């Protein structure tokens, strides 16, 4: 159902133009001219007041005022040449007024209902909780001048908030994004609002700001093994994944060939935060914001230990780097204590990590989505790549196709599935055959760090992802200029088959990857 409403500022502007034009036409009529003058100044004053008190940015306010005053002055000046031909003057006035209505007061017709399954334009109101209640919509503006969009915003009393603030705005369009908070009492017209915003033609993209929730998988009880590895960490017998990934051979190769890092690569864990004081993380930890250096959940700390636990310190577990010279780990908190977050929050985290110089961005998170509409993720990944970061994301834990999950389905991301101790796809793991860059790592009963100097075993593609992130960090420390495609090609070409390679991708083999680096 269409809702009839008047965009007051735009209406006032058109009213002022008509009053000014008629004032010019009848300025010799003593009884009419003063009334038309009063109407013009009243309309113009009200328009200026409404614009200055609107929710637009200061730049937009003055841009709109300057543009509209110039338009009114120019159109009225043009009409003044036809004052002696009243009928022609009125025809031209009507035509110009009609154009003004079309430009400033756009009318959109309701789209016919489709018989197909729900699309992005159709909301399942029962799924309202799937969107961020503080900002349900992400908009990518074509330009700062958007009168038709302003008309819709005024109609529904909506506000635009700046979404992202990348440091290098000249290499991305992320600074063009805005967030809209849709009032809950308007839920019945959410679908209509979406269609009206889209119909303005002033947006490059419009998508829902979906919620993200990590879903831990209960760890299985797996018999401990003792991988052959030259490390003194007491819990390596609980790290079964080190054996199929031949981490012992990796340590031997690095030592025997005196492989030295060209830099200390920084791995950013975008998660629930990281316990920066953990005994098996602290030496390898790099802090950027104190509020990120704690973890009220444990998920983020667990991932950080997998990626970059301190090896050979006679404490806890080991990671791919045999010493602390190769990698360091840091935290960008994008999920709360409950493990929930939003798409916009994750994108902000990607931007922040890239701006702080992350070499690797590890995303052990995601949600069911649609690859055709997650353009904001794509722009964030492109931005990170441009800044030199490689983005690794979990495939998801729903035993479905990762192409339907974001950010796993985002182009430019290396997507990680999980395998079990038998080298089979973990029963929960999403498959990666339909994403561009799919790879596999251990993800069942993974023993790692949790807050307060504790350790625990968790399962999920969340656990497989930091294994890949840790290896990519090691690669970037030795060869810092590697691109995402180069990294994936190395991981894929040196990986070994699993029992479900088509669905999982190849299992990473760190020593074989490092051998290929020049």
In the annotation, is 493 catalytic? no
In the annotation, is 497 catalytic? no
Give the angle subtended at the CA of 354 by the CAs of 352 and 359, to the nearest 5°: 135
Q: Give the pairing type, strands 390-394 and 360-363.
A: parallel
Measured distance CA(449)–CA(457) in Å, rounded: 9
Measured distance CA(26)–CA(21) in Å, rounded: 9
Measured distance CA(216)–CA(461) in Å, rounded: 9
Buried b / exposed e over 28-63, threshold 16 CB at 10 Å, is: eeeeebeebeebbeebbebbbebbeebebeeebbee
Measured distance CA(145)–CA(157) in Å, rounded: 19
Question: Euclidean distance between the first and final Cα of the chain, in Å?
Answer: 64
**How many H helices and E strands in the chain?**
14, 16
In the annotation, is 462 catalytic? yes
Catalytic residue among 140, 150, 271, 295: 271
Question: In 353-389, where do the E strands start and end?
Answer: 360-363, 367-368
Measured distance CA(145)–CA(149) in Å, rounded: 9
Measured distance CA(356)–CA(288) in Å, rounded: 8
Closest CA to 349 of 336, 337, 331: 331
Catalytic residue among 299, 359, 362, 459: 299
Among all residues, which ones are annotated catalytic?
271, 299, 462
């Amino acid at each position: 159902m269409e809702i009839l409403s008047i965009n007051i500022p735009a209406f006032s502007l058109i009213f002022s133009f008509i009053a000014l034009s008629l004032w010019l036409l009848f300025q010799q009529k003593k009884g009419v001219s003063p009334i038309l003058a009063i109407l013009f100044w009243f309309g113009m004053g009200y328009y200026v007041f409404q614009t200055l008190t609107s929710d637009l940015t200061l730049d937009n306010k003055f841009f709109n005022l300057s543009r509209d005053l110039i338009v009114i002055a120019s159109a009225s000046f043009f009409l003044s040449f036809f004052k002696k031909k009243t009928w022609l003057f009125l025809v031209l006035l009507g035509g110009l007024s009609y154009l003004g209505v079309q430009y400033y007061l756009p009318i959109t017709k309701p789209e016919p209902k489709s018989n197909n399954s729900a699309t992005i334009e159709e909301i399942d109101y029962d799924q309202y909780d799937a969107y961020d209640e503080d900002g349900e919509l992400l908009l990518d503006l074509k330009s700062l001048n958007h009168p038709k969009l302003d008309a819709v915003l005024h109609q529904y009393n909506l506000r635009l908030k700046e979404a992202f603030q990348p440091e290098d705005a000249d290499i991305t369009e992320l600074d063009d994004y805005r967030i809209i908070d849709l009032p809950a009492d308007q839920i019945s017209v959410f679908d209509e609002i979406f269609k009206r915003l889209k119909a303005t033609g002033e947006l490059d993209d419009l998508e829902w700001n979906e919620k993200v929730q990590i879903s831990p998988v209960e760890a299985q009880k797996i018999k401990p093994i003792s991988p052959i590895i030259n490390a003194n960490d007491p819990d390596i017998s609980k790290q079964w994944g080190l054996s199929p990934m031949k981490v012992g051979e990796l340590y031997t190769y690095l030592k025997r060939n005196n492989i030295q890092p060209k830099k200390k690569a920084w791995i950013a864990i975008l998660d629930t935060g990281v316990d920066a004081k953990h005994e098996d993380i602290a030496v390898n930890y790099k802090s950027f914001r104190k509020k990120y250096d704690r973890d009220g959940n444990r998920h983020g700390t667990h991932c950080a230990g997998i990626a970059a636990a301190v090896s050979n310190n006679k404490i806890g577990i080991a990671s791919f780097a045999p010493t602390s010279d190769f990698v360091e780990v840091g935290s960008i908190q994008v999920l709360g204590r409950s493990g929930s977050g939003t798409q916009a929050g994750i994108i902000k985290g990607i931007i922040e990590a890239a701006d702080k110089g992350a070499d690797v961005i590890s995303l052990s998170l995601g949600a069911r989505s649609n690859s055709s509409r997650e353009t904001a993720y794509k722009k964030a990944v492109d931005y990170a790549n441009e800044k030199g970061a490689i983005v690794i994301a979990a495939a998801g834990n729903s035993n479905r196709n990762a192409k339907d999950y974001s950010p796993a389905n985002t182009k430019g991301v290396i997507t990680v599935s999980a395998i079990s101790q038998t080298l089979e796809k973990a029963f929960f793991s999403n498959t990666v055959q339909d994403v561009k860059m799919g790879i596999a790592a251990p993800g069942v009963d993974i023993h790692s760090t949790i807050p307060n100097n504790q350790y625990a075993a968790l399962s999920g593609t969340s656990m497989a992802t930091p294994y890949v992130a840790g290896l990519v960090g090691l690669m970037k420390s030795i060869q810092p200029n590697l691109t995402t495609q180069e990294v994936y090609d190395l991981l894929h070409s040196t990986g070994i088959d699993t029992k479900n390679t088509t669905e999982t991708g190849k299992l990473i083999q760190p020593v074989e990857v490092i051998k290929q680096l020049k």
